[in-house]
Amino acid sequence: MTKKTFYWHDYETWGINPRIDRAAQFAGIRTDENLQIIGEPLMVYAQPTADFLPHPQAVLVTGITPQLAMSEGVVEADFFHRIHEEFCRPGSCIVGYNSIRFDDEVTRFGFYR
């Protein structure tokens, strides 16, 4: 039987519109049913693409600069591939705050791209 886990996650983005703005950072951590942390947390930056200009207010709010994301991040396809691997583990329940209106949309549009 597959062990049930919760995967808690959050995005930081370059703007407030999940349809057009891009992810800057993702962080996720897995817990068991008793909310005990299992495995290693995932934190990854996404490199901004050349055809996208981050909103200056987003940089101020998150503290993530395009230079930081470019130097420490991975290309968007690899970024979302790593997230997909975590989300698709058998027995996972994906959890986040404000997920339906924002994070799930960031995920959906990122997976589509």
> Does residue 40 carry a pLDDT above 80?
yes
The enclosing domain of 37 has a CATH number of 3.30.420.10
User: For residue 93, what pLDDT is reported?
Assistant: 96
Considering its fold, how many domains does the chain have in total? 1
Q: Choose the weakest-confidence range: 25-39, 73-87, 92-106.
A: 92-106
User: For residue 2, what pLDDT is reported?
Assistant: 80
Show the domain range for 89.
5-112
What number of other Cβ atoms are within 10 A of residue 63's Cβ?
A: 9
DSSP string, the chain: -PPPEEEEEEEEESSS-TTTS-EEEEEEEEE-TT--EEEEEEEEEBPPPTT----HHHHHHH---HHHHHHH-B-HHHHHHHHHHHHTSTTEEEE-TTIIIIIHHHHHHHHH-
